[in-house]
Chains A and B, each alone.
Chain A
C-alpha cells in the first residue's frame, strides 16, 4: 500500500487535502509539527510527502534531507502554498521539491497529480 504524508501546521488545510486523497487506496498520515514529522519519517518510508504552506526564508532543505536521504529519489515532495514569488518557488525547487502548487487548489487536479506520482 502506498504511503502519503501530509505536513502542515494548519489542521483545516490538512483535512481538505486528506479528504481529496480519500479512496486512493493509500495510507495517509499527517504531521502538524516538525517533531511528529521526524518521528513518522524515521518510522516509515513514504511514497509522497505533501508539505502544505511555507514560511518566508524557509528553503525546506533540512526537512527534505530528513525525509529523503541523499542517494534516494523517493519520496516525491510536493509543496502546496500561497506564495507566488519566483524566488520562493525557485528556492524550493532547487532544494529538491518535485512540484509546487499554489492555493487556491483544484482538488480534482491535486488528486490526479497524486495518482500519477503514486503510480510512478
Chain B
C-alpha cells in the first residue's frame, strides 16, 4: 500500500513538473514572439488600410504566422475602432476567409469566466459577422456578468437597430458601468437615441440608459422627466441617479420631490450628495431649502473649503 502511495506521489510530482515546464516554455516562447508580432501587426495595419483605401484587398503579413487568427482579429478590431467611413464588408470578408469567426466561437466555447468575456469582447469589437452571429445568444444568460455584458455587446454591434429591445430584455439590472459600455457602442454606431421614451419607460435598464444619455449630452430640456423619476419611490437608487443627473445639468433644485428624495437618503449618502453639489457649483443660497439648519452650516463650510476653490480655479 505504502509503495503504491509512494509511486502515486512521484507520478503527481512528475506531472506537476512537466505541466510547470510546459507553461514556462510556452510563456517564454510567447514573450520572444511578441516583438516580432508587434512589428507584423504594424506592417499589416498599413497593408489593411492601404487595401481599404484603394478598395482592393491584399494579403496581410500577419496571415502567415502562428496564432494568425488571434492576431488578425486584434488587428481588425483596432482598425475598426480607430477609423470610420470605411465600409465594414471587406473587413468581414477578410475575417471569414481566414476562419476568424469560427475560431472566435471555438475560443468562447472552450474558455470560461474572464477568458470567455475577453473572447466575446474581441468579437464585439469586430465588424458584424453574420455567419456566426446567432451562436452568441446562449451566453446572454451566462452566470458571469462580464460574459453576459460582452455577449450583449456582440448582439448590439450586430443589430444596433434592436439596441433598446436587447437592453430591455436583460433580466438583471445593469450597473452604471454596463450602461456606459452600451452607450459608448451606440455612440460609435452613430445611432440617434431619443431620451424621452427611455425616461418614461417602465424598464429600469432603459431608464438608466436614458439618464446616462441626458447626462452625456447635457440635455437641459429633460427636467420634467428627471423630476418624475426623482419623485418615484419605487426605486430609490434610480431616483438618486436622476437627482445626480439633474445636478450635473446645473438645473435649479427646487420642489417637493427633490426635498423628499433627499430626506429618504442616509446620512452618508447625503454627505456624498452635498460634496457633489458643492463640486457642481451650487451656491448655499440656491440649495438652502433642501437642508436642515445643521446641514446648511455644513454645506456652507463645504463650499468654502480649498477643494472647492481648486475645482473652480
Binding site for B on A (CB under 8 A): 11-16, 18-20, 22, 103-109
Contacts and interface: CB of A to CB of B under 8 A. Distances in A.
Interface stretch (B20-28, B80-88, B197-205): B80-88
Given A12-B42, A12-B78, A16-B79, A105 B49 contact: no
Contacts of A11: 38-39, 41-42
Interface of B: 38-39, 41-43, 45-46, 49-50, 53, 75, 78-79, 81-86, 188
Contacts of B84: 104-106
A106 B85 contact: yes
B280 to A, nearest CB: 15
Nearest to A14: B42
Given A19-B50, A20-B49, A12 B41 contact: yes
- Please list the 3 inter-chain residue pairs (A to B) with the smallest Cβ-Cβ separation, ordered nearest first: A106-B85, A104-B84, A11-B42
Contact of A16 (B43, B49, B85, B188): B49
B45 A15 contact: yes
Contact of A107 (B41, B75, B85): B85
Contacts of A12: 41-42, 45, 75, 78
B122 to A, nearest CB: 15
**Which label, helix, strand, loop or mixed, suits the secondary structure of the A interface?**
helix
B46 A13 contact: no
Nearest to B216: A84
Contacts of A107: 49, 53, 83, 85-86
Contacts of B81: 103-104
Given A104-B188, A107-B53, A15 B85 contact: no
Contacts of B42: 11-12, 14-15
A11 B35 CA distance: 12
Contacts of A105: 82-84
B62 to A, nearest CB: 11
A88 to B, nearest CB: 16
A108 B85 contact: yes
B258 to A, nearest CB: 27
A106 B83 contact: yes
Nearest to A103: B82
B236 to A, nearest CB: 30
A14 B78 CA distance: 12
A104 B78 CA distance: 10
26 contacts: A11-B38, A12-B42, A13-B82, A14-B42, A15-B43, A15-B46, A15-B49, A16-B46, A16-B49, A19-B46, A19-B49, A19-B50, A19-B53, A20-B53, A104-B82, A104-B84, A104-B188, A105-B82, A105-B83, A105-B84, A106-B84, A106-B85, A107-B49, A107-B53, A108-B85, A109-B85
Given A11-B38, A104-B82, A105-B83, A16 B45 contact: yes
Given A104-B188, A107-B53, A16 B41 contact: no
Most buried by A among B38, B41, B81, B84: B84
A106 B85 CA distance: 6
A26 B274 CA distance: 56
B287 to A, nearest CB: 24
Given A15-B43, A18-B46, A106-B83, 20 more contacts: A11-B38, A11-B39, A11-B42, A12-B42, A12-B78, A13-B82, A14-B42, A15-B42, A16-B79, A16-B82, A16-B83, A19-B45, A19-B53, A22-B50, A103-B81, A103-B82, A104-B83, A106-B84, A107-B86, A109-B85
Contacts of A106: 83-85
A106 B82 CA distance: 9
Most buried by B among A12, A22, A106: A12
Contacts of B188: 104
A15 B50 CA distance: 10
B77 to A, nearest CB: 11
